Amino acid sequence: MTDQPLLKALAGQAVEPVPCWFMRQAGRFLPEYRKIRQEAGSFLDLCYNPELASEVTLQPLRRFDMDAAIVFADILLIPQALGMKVWFEQGEGPRLAPPVEQAGMTALSEPANMSLLQPVYETVKKTRQALTPEKSLIGFAGAPWTVATYMLRGQGSKDPASLRALYYQNPELVETLLEKISTATINYLSQQIDHGADAIQLFDSWAGGLPETLLHRLCLEPSQKIAVALKKKHPKTPIIIFPRGAGPSLTDYAEIPEFDAIGIDTSTPWNWVKKHISPKKTVQGGLDPLLVVKGGEEMVSAARKLKQVFAGSPYIFNLGHGFVPHTPPENVALLMQAIRQ
What is the full DSSP assignment across 75-93? TTHHHHHTT-EEEEETTTE
Shortest spacing between CB 317 and ligand 1CP, in angstroms: 15
31's enclosing H/E stretch is helix 31-40
Q: What angle do the packed helices 144-153 and 160-169 form, to 10 degrees?
A: 90
Question: How far apart are alpha carbons 291 and 197 in whole angstroms?
Answer: 30
Assign residue 295 a region (left: φ > 0; alpha: ψ between -120 and 50; beta: otherwise): left
Type of residue at 135: K
Among 66-74, 163-171, 248-256, 263-271, the segment contacting ligand 1CP (CB under 6 A) = 66-74
Which of 253, 200, 262 is closest to 231 using CA atoms? 200
241's enclosing H/E stretch is strand 239-243
Among 283, 320, 322, 339, binds ligand 1CP (CB under 6 A): 322
Decide if residue 243 touches ligand 1CP (CB under 6 A): no
Shortest spacing between CB 57 and ligand 1CP, in angstroms: 8
Residue numbers 87-106 binding ligand 1CP by CB under 6 A: 93-94
Among 76, 82, 291, 300, binds ligand 1CP (CB under 6 A): 76
Active site residue 28: yes
Among 23, 66, 181, 300, binds ligand 1CP (CB under 6 A): 23
Which of 115, 46, 104 is closest to 80 using CA atoms? 115
Residue 21 CA: distances (Å) to CA of 51, 61, 280: 22, 9, 21
Residue 185: how many CB atoms within 10 A of its CB? 25
Among 67-75, 113-121, 292-300, 330-338, the segment contacting ligand 1CP (CB under 6 A) = 67-75
Residue numbers 124-143 binding ligand 1CP by CB under 6 A: 140, 142
Decide if residue 315 touches ligand 1CP (CB under 6 A): no
Type of residue at 7: L
Write the binding mask 147 to 166 for ligand 1CP: x where contact by CB under 6 A, - elsewhere.
---------x----------
Among 205, 223, 237, 318, binds ligand 1CP (CB under 6 A): 205
Among 12, 32, 43, 109, binds ligand 1CP (CB under 6 A): 43
Question: How far apart are alpha carbons 333 and 295 in whole angstroms?
Answer: 10
Shortest spacing between CB 233 and ligand 1CP, in angstroms: 22
Task: Kindly tell me which of 264 and 313 has the beta carbon lying closer to ligand 1CP.
Answer: 264
Active site residue 37: yes
Active site residue 121: no
The one-character DSSP state at 155 is B
| Residue 308 CB partners (closer than 8 Å, separation 6+) | none
Active site residue 164: no
Decide if residue 75 touches ligand 1CP (CB under 6 A): yes
Decide if residue 294 touches ligand 1CP (CB under 6 A): no
Count the residues of the shown chain that bind ligand 1CP, applying the rule CB under 6 A: 23
Shortest spacing between CB 28 and ligand 1CP, in angstroms: 5
Task: Kindly tell me which of 24 and 164 has the beta carbon lying closer to ligand 1CP.
Answer: 24
Question: How far apart are alpha carbons 202 and 204 in whole angstroms?
Answer: 6
Question: How far apart are alpha carbons 57 and 71 in whole angstroms?
Answer: 6
Active site residue 252: no
Decide if residue 27 touches ligand 1CP (CB under 6 A): yes
Residue 296 CA: distances (Å) to CA of 107, 149, 265, 319: 51, 37, 22, 16
The one-character DSSP state at 97 is E
Which chain residues interact with ligand 1CP by CB under 6 A?
Answer: 23-28, 37, 43, 70, 72-76, 93-94, 140, 142, 146, 156, 203, 205, 322
Catalytic residue set = 24, 28, 37, 74, 150
